[in-house]
Structure 1
């Protein structure tokens, strides 16, 4: 009588990649969300998602770039949750005094300004300008139409301009 063979868990293959991928995934997230605690939480969600994907019958081909993509989705999901919680959307229609999109932006100040914005604005601006995604890709990540995303980016840039401190010595 033959003994039944146990099929190995495909998630064990992920263990070999874990040491290489962990700093990449965590570094990606902490650079975009600015919070160690949040980055740690999203990193664990990313790897839990990878384990689930590995165990599916069609099993994902897990690699570091694939995990970064999962992390990007987890971060976008987080921002969507925050957006729902902060649902108080405000349209800002004030004259633009300074346009940091056409100037050199101080990265540290920009990070602080992004942290002050609503989650929906922060998500759109980060995906578009930090990650360099096309508007259509930003729309897909945020679960919006391209036109809604373009409008969101306009509002987000306006909110960013308003919150971005004017350069010292400017005439504004």
Structure 2
């Protein structure tokens, strides 16, 4: 009977340590994740929802991988925001088909943003992360190096390669759209 009690204490301590670890990770990163999402969507409620979903995913993941990094959290948050934006874009597209919505300059900006986000989505996680943190969040190369635990030279090279790859992906998308537009004439 005593052994069972000891095992129960070990399990309770393990759960308490896991909860404490998650709480520390949450407290450390929640504001940064929220700001990251809010800067992209400019919607307080949506940013809160996506931040909550991101940390729910982290909570589920802590069983598999006890150390959750800020890079992982920001990638999850960005992917969830992209999912929402895609759903919203499809919905607005359906409304336009039935003549409910007006086409505006905002639609063009949204289409361009989705094109860039789509191209970013085709990049490796490292490339996406470094471009997002550098160009959207405004982190300097030295700040990126510190944030990602890498040397400044390594980050400079990574940013250069990531930019080159993004440019190639965007060019592929433009070429693909031109081919589709040209093919519809024939």
Normalised by the size of structure 2, how large is the TM-score? 0.50
The runs of 5 or more residues in structure 1 that have no matched partner are 91-112, 156-172
Q: Are positions 1:62 and 2:68 aligned together?
A: yes
Rg larger in 1 or in 2?
Answer: 2
C-alpha RMSD of the superposition: 3.8
The alpha-carbon distance between structure 1 residues 85 and 152, as it changes in their structure 2 partners (threshold 3 A), is farther
* Mapping for residues 98-137 of structure 1, pairs under 5 Å: 116-117=107-108, 121-126=112-117, 133=120, 136-137=122-123
Tell me the number of residue pairs that the alignment of Structure 1 and Structure 2 aligns.
119
The runs of 5 or more residues in structure 2 that have no matched partner are 97-104, 129-168, 179-186
Task: Quote the residue 2:27 is aligned against.
Answer: 19
Task: Quote the residue 2:44 is aligned against.
Answer: 36
Q: Are positions 1:86 and 2:92 aligned together?
A: yes
User: Quick one: distance in 2 between partners of 1:126 and 1:44?
Assistant: 22
Q: CA deviation at 1:39?
A: 0.8
The alpha-carbon distance between structure 1 residues 63 and 119, as it changes in their structure 2 partners (threshold 3 A), is same
Task: Quote the residue 1:74 is aligned against.
Answer: 80
Report Cα offsets for 1:11-42 as digits up to 9, x if no partner: 54121122221111011101111111111111
Partner SS for 1:86: helix
Q: Comparing 65-74 with 4-13, which one deviates more in the overlay?
A: 4-13
Report Cα offsets for 1:32-85 as digits up to 9, x if no partner: 111111111111111111111113xx3253022211111111111212222332
The alpha-carbon distance between structure 1 residues 32 and 44, as it changes in their structure 2 partners (threshold 3 A), is same
Normalised by the size of structure 1, how large is the TM-score? 0.53
Greater per-residue helix proportion: 2
Task: Quote the residue 1:107 is aligned against.
Answer: none
- Bigger relative contact order (CA 8 A; separation at least 6): 1
